[in-house]
Amino acid sequence: MQKSPITKYKPWGTINLADRQWPSRTIDRVPYWCSVDLRDGNQALPIPMGVKDKLELFKLLCSIGFKQIEIGFPSAAQTEFDFARKLIDDKLVPDGVALQVLTQAREHLIKRSFESLQGSQRAIVHLYNSTSPLQRRVTFGKSKEEIKKIAVEGVRLVKKLLPELPDTEVQLEYSPESFSDTEVDYALEVCEAVMNEWEPSEQNPIILNLPATVELFTPNVHADQIEWFCRNMQDRNKAIISLHTHNDRGTGTAATELGLLAGADRVEGTLFGNGERTGNLDIVTVALNMYAQGLHPNLNFENLDYIRGVYERTTGMTVHERHPYGGDLVFTAFSGSHQDAIKKGMDLREKEGDTYGTHWQVPYLSIDPRDIGRNYEEIIRINSQSGKGGVAYILSREYGLDLPKAMHPEVGILVNEKADSESRELTANEIYVAFKEEFLEKNDPLELISYDTSKKTGEAEIICLSKILINGEVKELSGNGNGPINAFVQSLEQGGLKDFKLTDYRQHSIGEGSATESAAYVQLQTKVGRVAYGCGIDSSIEKSGLIALVSAYNRTR
């Protein structure tokens, strides 16, 4: 890196827009969405998609609800051309879906693009040429007038070729490539020259796509560019202003959202942001951001895991674990305090009635994971950083164990120590096995071999006769009490084994119908102050309580 002062780079500058309006607006309408996965996303792959993969992804995009899909650059490669022809010849394009093809403003490329669209119902011809000072000087060595002439002559040829698509509804899209680095007044000059040549109408407007081909500045400057353009152009009602952001600075989503506030009508992007360099705009993120604000994006992401699977299979790319909405870990909490808050929010929502008609309010979760096909079980996962609430949540959701709150710390410490010693995340099954070994199957030094309870005729007290193994010695005990637990405790006292008091007992059912079991929790406190819980699970309410007491007894030793 260059040492300060930095002379290698300089600030881009600002737009003269003192009375900008976008900061006080909200996104309250859904834009036109255009997927460029099959073009921008494809050209960014180490191994480009073939026709088979492109077809699978095209069908997915249609099922999501995209009505405009840029299918490729048919004048640039035979595979791209063949794909366009397959879609049209095999009648694979759903009604209402427009095929968009990209072409440079060059005669032979435009003609080849028209050949690829023969027989299509709806088409968008996307014409572009670079307009920025850097491109004018370095790439083309042409003046402003010469660059503008390229654009106008390209549009003139498109217009001339329209009779070759007599049964196709054609819309023109024009992009001043590198708009982000082009003088806004010159970009407007070129776009208006294009409009004058094309002669759009309100019924058939032109699409003016203003691409941040390279993201050069903060999103607010991009918004100023878009608002300045919209406010200064002629015949605004005859143009759809489209955004096409990239993510070189990591703010492609923000730039798009601010661009919509600034007056744009349309968004181009890809699933999960696939595209050259740092990628295109991620349409999934922007659309679900709208959804989280109560505005349905008119795109269906109800099964985002499936969408992600098709995307990863066809492109060979992977979605990062922390990618918004689609990543494996985005609805996952490892932090103990976060887990506790999520558990409380979930429990309260369930208690109050978990319906789609109620406002979603759960700490740390901006949307309900179920809305995009994710499961609650994914929300809380356990490692050494996890808290007691998270462990209790897993045992509750996966195994139906509603642990007493006072028991949470004991269980949490057990599981955290296991995760820490193994330096990894624990599965739900591993958590349950650790719980079972420590709280359900503690049979040393005391083991209950058998027991029997009965009542004397006309008496309320219960008699408990039991056979136990204590420190390797078998003993038979007897005791009376107002219930099975109390009677067993009294028998232990008669045998000189009671050095504790029972401080908590509770029980609940697990499952329904004939498969119902009983879970019991017993807390004991010894004379020297040691406190511990035990748990018992059995089809018999009576036996589950006795198992829990034995487990607690052994855990206090």
Mean pLDDT across the chain: 93
| Of 385 and 372, the one with more pLDDT | 372
pLDDT band of 19, cuts 50, 70, 90: very high
| CB contact at 8 A, 537 and 547 | yes
Q: Residue 377 pLDDT > 60, yes or no?
A: no
Asked if 315 and 41 count as a contact pair (C-beta separation under 8 A), the reply is yes
Given a cut of 90, is residue 522 above it in pLDDT?
Answer: yes
User: What confidence tens digit (pLDDT) does each residue in 456-501 have?
Assistant: 777 878 999 999 999 999 999 999 999 999 999 999 999 999 999 9
pLDDT bracket for residue 353 (50, 70, 90): confident
Portion of the chain with pLDDT greater than 70, in percent: 97
Question: Which CATH class for the 446-508+516-555 domain?
Answer: alpha beta
- Contact (Cβ atoms closer than 8 angstroms) between residue 290 and residue 27: yes
Residues 496-522 as b or e (16 or more Cβ within 10 Å = b)? ebbebeeeebeeeeeeeeeeeebbbbb
Farthest CA pair distance, the chain: 111
Whole-number Å distance between alpha carbons of 359 and 444: 51
Asked whether the bond before 23 is cis by omega within 30 degrees of 0, the reply is: no
Same fold, 29-315 and 446-508+516-555: no
For residues 40 and 100, give the distance between their C-alpha atoms in angstroms, rounded to a whole number. Answer: 12
CATH code: domain 29-315 is 3.20.20.70
pTM: 0.77
Task: Please state, in angstroms and rounded to a whole number, the distance separating the CA atoms of residues 245 and 227.
Answer: 15
Residue appearing with tokens 């941040």: 212
Cα–Cα distance measured from residue 62 to residue 299, given in angstroms and rounded to the nearest whole number: 10
The DSSP output letter for 467 is E
Answer whether residue 97 shows pLDDT above 90: yes
Q: Give the residue extent of every domain in the chain.
A: 29-315, 336-440, 446-508+516-555
At 505, is the pLDDT very low, low, confident or very high (cuts 50, 70, 90)?
A: very high
> What's the whole-number mean pLDDT along residues 438-447?
93
Residue 185 one-letter amino acid: D
C-alpha R_g of the chain: 34
CA distance 401 to 518: 10
Q: Would you place residue 391 in the very low, low, confident or very high pLDDT band (cuts 50, 70, 90)?
A: confident
Judging by beta carbons within 10 Å of its beta carbon (0-12, 13-18, 19+), is residue 450 exposed, middle or buried?
exposed
pLDDT at 382: 66
Please state the three-class secondary structure of 232-285 as a single string: HCCCHHHEEEEEEEECCCCCHHHHHHHHHHCCCCEEEEEHHHCCCCCCECEHHH
Q: Which residue carries 């930095």 as its tokens?
A: 6
Name which of 302, 131, 102, 137 is nearest 207 in CA terms: 102
Confidence of residue 32 (pLDDT cuts 50, 70, 90): very high
Give the pLDDT band (50/70/90) at residue 390. confident
User: What is the pLDDT averaged over residues 25-44?
Assistant: 96
